[in-house]
Structure formats: C-alpha cells, structure tokens
Amino acid sequence: MFTLKPIAACASMLTIVPAALAQVPQFGLPIAPAEIAAWDISIGPDGAGLPPGRGTAIEGEAIYVAKCQACHGEKGINPNVALAGALVGGMGTLAPDKTPIKTVGSYWPYATTLFDYTRRAMPFQESKSLTADEVYAVSAYILNLNGIVGSNDVMDAQSLPKVRMPNQDGFIPFPRNPK
C-alpha cells in the first residue's frame, strides 16, 4: 500500500539538513574585530569616519607629483583620459547642451568623497598606502587646483566636511517612496 509518509519524511529532510548546515562555517576563516576595523574606512558626506590628521595644498603638491601625476597628469589635467580621468577643469560643462567633463571640481558633491576615494583606492598600484596626513594634503592640493580652497588652508576632520563644492546642489534626490 502506498502512503505519503516516506515522501513527507524526505521533504522534511530537505528543509532540516540545509538549516542545520547553515549554522556551521564551511568556507574561509572567522574574522577578528581588528581585521574588520582595518577595512571599515568609509567616510560620510558629513565627515563621519574621518581620521585624525591634517594637510595643506602646499604639502600635497610634492605627494601628488610623486604618487599621482604619472596617471592623472601635471596639475590634474590629464591629456590621456583613457588612462585616468582628469581631476581639474570641466567647470560649466554639466549643462544639457554640452559634453560633461566630470572632475572633482565640476562634478563631485562633497570634498569628503575625495578623501574617501583617495584613501581607499589611490595610488592605483599601491591602494591604501597613503597616511591620513598624505591623503589630507593631496585632497587639499586637488581642491586647490580646482580653485576651491587656498594653498595654505588646512584640511582636517573638522575643515574638510565644511568645504563647499561647486556642484553640491547639482544632484536631484531620488524619491524613496515614489507615488
């Protein structure tokens, strides 16, 4: 006589076994809190997460020449955009009738994004190798090349979030609950 009991038993095993195995780590190694902290380096637009340190454009110029210029060009104006984008210029090109040139000065809405990206990804061949002071200085230099801060302005965790970027109001918020 045929009953559904064997099928029900098999079906229940199909749900019990994966649930039990899901509780057992099978790949990789557990990660220590200190290892997580080393990668938890995100910086918010308001400056949350900025580390201690400081730098000026004057200090940043030598760092830029040594570690950035080969890809981004002299003074951030890269003639070979295919290699790496220009960091300077493009002001006024975000109009509908123009070809946009998206640089730090023309497009980026927050100066803290410059710090975050530089710290995390630059220089390309040695990402995460710059000290906080070097990142503040290079950020100040790039902002200075764009005419946003002065050459002696100190960039640090307090001043960088206060920098007003030219395109800060150029983004339209996406409605979270469109109707």
pLDDT at 112 over 80: yes
pLDDT at 40: 80
Instruction: Name the 3-class secondary structure at 74.
Output: helix
- Report d(CA 89, CA 83) in Å as an integer: 17
More confident residue, 74 or 17: 74
Is the previous residue joined to 173 through a cis bond, with omega within 30 degrees of 0? no
pLDDT value at residue 41: 84
Structural domains in the chain, CATH included, are: 56-169 (1.10.760.10)
Judged against a pLDDT cut of 70, whether residue 111 lies above it is answered with: yes
